[in-house]
């Protein structure tokens, strides 16, 4: 027997009202929160055919022969960089809070790019780590 044809049915006891017609319950309020703007700051990128170094708002990232390592700023004790002995590559080391050292070397082609990287890198690291 189809009771829907006879109108709304009486409710007994303390029952919740029937759900409204539609596609389901409304979404929670947090589902409608507007997207937050991304936090931005200066970035540094050095790339060769095997390795890369990225320094940005989230920290320092190395890619060495296809393996990634990410170091968020709160986990970094210090960051050091210098030219390779041949003067053809950027050598960077991240010292983790636990004392472990991680290194990445990126070859600069042409060699003049190394000087550009040094200027950019010093500015970006100074922005995120003004005390060293």
Q: Answer for the pair 83, 46: CB distance below 8 angstroms, yes or no.
A: no
Longest dimension (CA), the chain: 91
Look at residues 44, 37, 38, 63 and name the one whose alpha carbon lies nearest to residue 129: 44
CA 29 to chain centre: 26
CA 86/CA 108 separation, integer angstroms = 11
Q: Is the peptide bond before 110 cis (omega within 30 degrees of 0)?
A: yes
pLDDT tens digits, 24-49: 666 666 555 566 666 688 999 999 99
Length of the chain equals 132
Structure tokens, 68: 């990634």
pLDDT of residue 85: 95
pLDDT tens string 55-95: 999 999 999 999 999 999 999 999 999 999 999 999 999 99
């Amino acid at each position: 027997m189809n009771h829907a044809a006879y109108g709304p049915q009486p409710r007994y006891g303390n029952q919740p009202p029937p759900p409204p017609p539609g596609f389901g319950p409304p979404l929670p309020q947090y589902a409608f929160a507007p997207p937050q703007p991304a936090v931005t700051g200066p970035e540094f990128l050095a790339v060769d055919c095997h390795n890369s170094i990225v320094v940005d708002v989230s920290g320092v990232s190395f890619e060495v022969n296809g393996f990634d390592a990410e170091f968020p700023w709160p986990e970094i004790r210090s960051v050091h960089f210098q030219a390779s002995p041949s003067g053809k590559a950027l050598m960077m080391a991240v010292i983790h809070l636990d004392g472990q050292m991680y290194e990445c070397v990126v070859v600069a082609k042409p060699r003049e790019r190394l000087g550009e990287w040094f200027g950019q890198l010093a500015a970006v690291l100074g922005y995120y780590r003004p005390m060293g």
